[in-house]
Amino acid sequence: MSMNNSPNVFLDPNANRFQVNIINESHDNNETSQEDVGSDPPHYEETSFTDEAHNRLRISYRPGKRELYDNFLQNGEKTEASLHPYDTHTKMYYLQTFGHNTVDPVPKIDYYRNTGSVSGNKLSRPSLLEIHEQLAKNIAVSTGSVERVANGESTAGDETAVSKEEENKTGFVKFGWVKGVLVRCMLNIWGVMLFIRLSWIVGQAGIGLGVIIILLATMVTSITGLSTSAIATNGFVRGGGAYYLISRSLGPEFGGSIGLIFAFANAVAVAMYVVGFAETVVELLKESDTLMVDESNDIRIIGTITVVCLLSISVAGMEWEAKAQVILLVVLLVAIANFFIGTVIPTNNEKNARGFFNYQASIFAENFGPDFRSGEGFFSVFAIFFPAATGILAGANISGDLKDPQSAIPKGTMLAILITTIAYIGVAVCVASCVVRDATGNINDTVVPGMSCNGSSACSLGYDFSRCASQPCDYGLMNNFQVMSMVSGFGPLITAGIFSATLSSALASLVSAPKVFQALCKDNIYKALHFFAKGYGKNNEPIRGYVLTFIIAMAFILIAELNTIAPIISNFFLASYALINFSCFHASYAKSPGWRPAFRYYNMWVSLFGALLCCGVMFVINWWAALITYAIELFLYIYVTYKKPEVNWGSSTQALYYINALDSALALTTVEDHVKNFRPQCIALTGAPMIRPALLDITHTFTKNNGLCICCEVYTGPRKLCVKEMNSGMAKKQDWLTKNKRKAFYAAVAADSFRDGVKSLLQASGLGRMKPNTLVIGFKKDWRNATATQVENYVGVIHDAFDFELGMIIVRISQGFDISQVLQVQEELEKLEQERLALEATIKENDFEEGKSGICGFFRKASTLNISKHETKKESTINTLQSMHVGEFNQKLLEASTQFKKKQGKGTIDIWWLFDDGGLTILIPYILTIRKKWKNCKLRIFTGGKVNRIEEEKLVMASLLSKFRIKFADINIICDINIKPNKESWKFFEEMIEPYRLHESCKDITTAEKLKRETPWKITDAELEAFKEKSYRQVRLNELLQEHSRAANLIVLSLPVARKGVVSDYLYMAWLEILSKNLPPILMVRGNHKNVLTFYS
């Protein structure tokens, strides 16, 4: 085999740094061979991932070929590995990635994408089986398809083309941190409060408390911003804002409950911003004396018109928002700058009369302290201001549209909070240093000579506003919401700022509310709301959500009171922020390896403090609204928990479940076992749990909420096939247990034999103290038709259980446990039914298209007839199978498989406690009687005794059971266990074991020895004679069971133990057969002879 390492490969400008060659077997490259002849040393290719040469691939090249290498690096330097197509001359070749033969692909982000990812196509790497198993000799790879061999899907080039095509088709644009996060957050944070409420807030709270209010709001948003940055940088965030962050972190229960509240809060925010805009317009109308009706109704009218216009823009398309947001921000910045400039422009008499005097120390001192009026207080004013600090999630909401979200979201969000906070504090301090709280607006209200000012700053500046104490005034910080327009250098600019701030914020909320709601509905957490998940157009616009948001916004616009709306929004946003902070804390506390946020400047305890702070502020702002919010959230949480949506987002709640379970399991290992805490922890050899449901049901009855139950399956056969089948079925069978509400685990092993597999399970199952102590197995009903090896394995499992000191329970029901044939027939019928429905649909479709005449119609008709014949054939097949099914299907088997699911009527559980095994034989039926399905059954105790001591034996047993606190209905002492069975019963036993007897006494010694070597599993005459008395006992016990317990609901019987290596497998199986034959459901139980009951407290 020769390796083609010709440097001509570098001539291809599309070659990558990780060149993948195809190695041809038994093919000599003459050109290469001729080049190698001469003085040049052998050429080798070497790859390196060291830091040398700036981490570039080091390739040894021949003298004179450096230019080719440089050309390759200039034209083909890429970081992703792809395959170069080669013409192959033979069918024998392999893929070379890093200088050795392998189909291993290099690390690539496309292998880690979710299915249906919008940012790229998901590729499938070769499975471990494909890497681990021998490479197939004959691989047909055409030119350009090598990538499909390596990745299992399309080539890198194809994928890039598809991605570009989607990008071009959808108009997908990636934003940087400034335009994508900073500008958006600043536009959303700066809103109506900055221009028409901040002056009122600082007038009520004063400069000191006003700054504290701003800083308190900033503390809440800053901590939330840190938490948001951490969550948002722990992987890409799709649309949905707070809902997406919370649901993917805490799970659908918290996410689903807060998602509705967050969407509703955004819808109400639309009303708040629109009302702010309408108030400004009404003020302008009032100044020009052109009110339509009155102030309140004009606000409603203008608000309605505005929200209709905004809805029209939203529905038409939001492309202009990305282009206009910078212009809107410029208008806002100019308006803010205009305000600061206005504070230093010398004032005039008209502005003085309205309370504006430029910067004055006396005004600063007078306004520094609070002056709460009209029942307002610190937290009520804070509730009015807090919505002005919201909007910090504007950047995180579009993280999928950011070039580098892990850098953009923290940088843009935190910088936006810093800038807006400085602006709020600056405006608050400046306006409170220039404007007095109350002013009349009358330029004639000047100070009369000799008048005492009593510390009034306005009075010291020459104006008398004292009448404002007794009657309402229209100007000043407390009375005029348009103070900033008055103070500014050019009033219309402030109006323009108000318009741009309110409309941009309203538009952003009008877009975000339906988007959040659509994301919630798409997850189908609330199935009734799935109607709103549908999107329209290339941008998947939630038109239905827009209409719903419009209705909610209109309802609150009709209130027309901004002070009434703001506290409601404060409550809902605070609830959202609280859960975002708690999500960050919870994810950190769970210590999941998947929690790896790129943003490191957060602290789990700070996030927890932020969550508690949000909750506390909610109650202080409005305690009854907080209670209502939490009541709604709790109701939705319980609803989602009850519905259990079929989603798996890898939430931190799941991680914490694991941590708690692990901690509990580790803590349990330090707890010493005590007999009072004994509980049956069972391995049930059910195979696939759906195959033997009755065996699982009876085991589950005494382990549910009480002990461990592991359903086990052993795969035997070719190891490769067994492992593949086992791995593919693990999740499906565990899901079946969960779906059918069986509190059990599923475990499977692949082994050379059934016994070896069970032996592995008995030794390795469980964790710490949660290890099985009891083996539950179904009786092998077909042992007489089974091979000697199968019988040996079955009995060997019983011996192994005793060797490992486990209790043993063998369950037998008359119809057997295996219903695999029934399930197979049902599956076939379902498949045939699906095919029939598909055929009917095809025929209907063809009939619908049969309207045309001519030759085409003729052929269509012929096709329809052909399909009809095919359908008739299928239906006849179904009918034949159904008739066969009715004839062969054992209805009793199906009924028997569900008998332990049904509630047991009044009856008895008969306990034949013949041997003291530590108490397991009596404990199992006691546990059954405390279950709902078995509580109507009474316990009857049967035990052996002497004829002349029946009453004494009864008293002894009654005393023992009373000490164990086990109620019983009756005690029966059986005195004739050891007498011989009747002749018919013994004859039946002898006939049963006849095929398995050696009869060596009837043959000569040589023949007998030969037979022993050839069939060591057969029952010898010596063995049968040695255990004749024990055989008599088993046959006699069956007679007694038939006599006393034929009508019992369940029989629990002490399991006879066969000495290992002494009693043959077939003799032991015969004992079990004759012991349990023709009886109600029977449990043959043998404990491990360690106490499981105690009468000590």
Q: Are the beta carbons of 909 and 698 closer than 8 angstroms?
A: no
Kindly state the average pLDDT of the residues 223-231.
90
| Tokens (6 digits) for 1094 | 């105690």
Per-residue pLDDT, 441? 82
- The pairing of strands 1082-1086 and 774-778 is unpaired
User: Taking the CB of residue 951, how many other CB atoms lie within 10 A of it?
Assistant: 10
Per-residue pLDDT, 655? 81
For 546-613, the DSSP string reads: HHHHHHHHHHHHTT--HHHHHHHHHHHHHHHHHHHHHHHHHHHHHT-TT---S-----HHHHHHHHHH
pLDDT tens per residue across span 910-933: 999 999 999 999 999 999 999 999
For 190-205, the DSSP string reads: SSHHHHHTHHHHHHHH
* Residue 218 or 193, more confident: 218
Q: How far is residue 339's CA from residue 498's CA, in Å, rounded to a whole number?
A: 12
Kindly state the average pLDDT of the residues 40-62.
40
Per-residue pLDDT, 38? 43
Is pLDDT of 710 > 60?
yes
Per-residue pLDDT, 144? 38
Per-residue pLDDT, 56? 38
First CA to last CA distance, the chain? 81
Is pLDDT of 1085 > 80?
yes
Which SS3 state, helix, strand or coil, does residue 713 take?
strand
Per-residue pLDDT, 219? 92
Name the nearest CA neighbour of 210 among 200, 199, 202: 202
pLDDT tens per residue across span 547-590: 898 998 888 888 766 666 666 777 888 888 898 898 889 888 88
Is pLDDT of 780 > 70?
yes
Is pLDDT of 194 > 50?
yes
| Tokens (6 digits) for 11 | 């001539």
Kindly state the average pLDDT of the residues 827-851.
78
Lowest mean pLDDT of 416-430, 579-593, 685-699, 792-806, name the range. Answer: 579-593
* Residue 606 or 453, more confident: 606
pLDDT tens per residue across span 319-338: 666 666 788 888 889 999 99
Q: Are the beta carbons of 82 and 156 closer than 8 angstroms?
A: yes
Is pLDDT of 527 > 90?
no
- Alpha-helix residue ranges (DSSP H) falling in 345-404: 349-353, 361-368, 378-385
Mean of per-residue pLDDT scores for the chain: 78
pLDDT tens per residue across span 988-1001: 999 999 999 988 88
Distance from CA of residue 467 to its chain's centroid?
A: 66
CB-side neighbour CA atoms (13 Å) of 695:
29
- At residue 449, what is the residue type? P
What percent of the chain has a predicted confidence (pLDDT) above 70? Answer: 79
Q: How far is residue 489's CA from residue 874's CA, in Å, rounded to a whole number?
A: 88
pLDDT tens per residue across span 998-1035: 888 887 888 888 888 888 888 988 899 999 999 999 99
Is pLDDT of 854 > 90?
no
Q: Name the percent of the chain in helix, strand, coil, to the closest 5.
A: 60, 5, 35
Is pLDDT of 417 > 70?
yes
Per-residue pLDDT, 855? 44
Q: How far is residue 278's CA from residue 295's CA, in Å, rounded to a whole number?
A: 10
| Tokens (6 digits) for 113 | 């994408």
pLDDT tens per residue across span 876-886: 444 444 444 44
Per-residue pLDDT, 84? 41
For residue 953, give every residue at least 6 positions away whose Cβ sits within 8 Å of its Cβ, in sequence order, or none: 943, 945, 946, 973
* Residue 399 or 31, more confident: 399
Kindly state the average pLDDT of the residues 755-771.
91
Lowest mean pLDDT of 93-97, 384-388, 1080-1084, name the range. Answer: 93-97
Q: How far is residue 701's CA from residue 902's CA, in Å, rounded to a whole number?
A: 11
List the helix and strand counts (H, then E) for the chain.
Answer: 39, 12
Q: How far is residue 300's CA from residue 294's CA, in Å, rounded to a whole number?
A: 10
Per-residue pLDDT, 177? 86
Lowest mean pLDDT of 110-119, 499-508, 627-636, 830-839, name the range. Answer: 110-119
pLDDT tens per residue across span 946-983: 888 888 989 999 999 999 999 999 999 988 888 899 99
Q: How far is residue 250's CA from residue 639's CA, in Å, rounded to a whole number?
A: 16
Confidence of residue 532 (pLDDT cuts 50, 70, 90): confident
Q: How far is residue 143's CA from residue 651's CA, in Å, rounded to a whole number?
A: 44
Per-residue pLDDT, 871? 44
Is pLDDT of 839 > 70?
yes
Which SS3 state, helix, strand or coil, does residue 940 take?
strand
pLDDT tens per residue across span 13-31: 444 433 444 434 344 444 4
Per-residue pLDDT, 566? 67
Per-residue pLDDT, 100? 55
- Residue 970: phi and psi, rounded to 5, are -160, 150
- Residue 402: phi and psi, rounded to 5, are -95, 145
pLDDT tens per residue across span 738-754: 888 899 999 999 999 99
